[in-house]
């Protein structure tokens, strides 16, 4: 009887772990310039195209998803005179905090159409931590009024399902609802790839973007 109970519990645990997943590889563009020193990503603009360097991509699932009952919160920090992370995907309606971990002032601002703002100068001990709510989808380019070299990107998406690829272009989107959707890849400010997908419950779909 105990052995049967253990089998039942293991079966239930296995069902609980099952989830719908999309995974694959994105063919990333070649690095746009010399390798980045200290393994730090940079934001570059060339011919009006904004991208990370070395290249990264954001993979996301587009569809009719219910709105979150709780406002999402994310962070883009300033550390070692750079944005961390350099590329931050968030869902529409997310409040992004901008903590300062440097022993100097920062002044984060953006002139991007989806969200124009200026946080003003603030120190590491600023309370509450300066933040902004990003309620319009689109790409936000961040700068620091004090440190001209600093650049950061916030990609605001109308979906809760997204992930950044690793440096090799590999990605894994987990915990997805079954159904028909559009799978998209953001490569830079002018390049978005897409393909239709149909997800079955508790399945793994392999989707590469050559």
36 part of a folded domain = yes
2 part of a folded domain = no
pTM of the model: 0.87
12 part of a folded domain = no
CATH of the domain at 26: 2.60.40.420
Number of domains composing the chain: 1
- The yes-or-no verdict on residue 4 having pLDDT over 60 is no
120 part of a folded domain = yes
Two tokens at 58?
Answer: 């954001």
154 part of a folded domain = yes
Residue-wise pLDDT tens digits, 184-207: 999 999 999 999 999 999 999 999
SS3 of 117, please? Answer: strand
182 part of a folded domain = yes
Range of the domain at 176: 19-206
Average pLDDT over residues 18-47: 78
Residue-wise pLDDT tens digits, 119-149: 999 999 999 999 999 999 999 999 999 998 8
133 part of a folded domain = yes
How far the first Cα of the chain sits from its last, in Å, is 53
């Amino acid at each position: 009887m105990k052995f049967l109970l253990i089998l039942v519990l293991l079966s239930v645990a296995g069902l609980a772990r099952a989830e719908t997943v999309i995974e694959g590889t994105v063919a990333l563009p070649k690095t746009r310039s010399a390798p980045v020193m200290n393994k730090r990503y940079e934001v570059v603009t060339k011919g009006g195209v904004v991208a990370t360097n070395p290249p990264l991509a954001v993979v996301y699932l587009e569809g009719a998803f219910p709105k979150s009952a709780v406002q999402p919160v994310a962070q883009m920090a300033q550390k070692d005179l750079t944005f961390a992370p350099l590329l931050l995907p968030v869902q529409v309606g997310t409040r992004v905090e901008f903590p300062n971990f440097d022993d100097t002032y920062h002044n984060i601002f953006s002139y991007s159409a989806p969200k124009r703002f200026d946080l003003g100068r603030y120190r590491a001990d600023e309370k509450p931590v300066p933040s902004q709510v990003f309620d319009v989808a689109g790409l936000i380019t961040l700068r620091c009024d004090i440190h001209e070299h600093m650049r950061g990107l916030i990609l605001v998406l109308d979906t809760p399902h997204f992930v950044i690829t690793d440096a090799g272009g590999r990605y894994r989107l987990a915990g997805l609802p079954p159904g028909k959707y559009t799978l998209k890849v953001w490569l830079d400010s002018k390049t978005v790839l897409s393909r239709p997908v149909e997800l079955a419950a508790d399945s793994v779909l392999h989707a590469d973007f050559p």
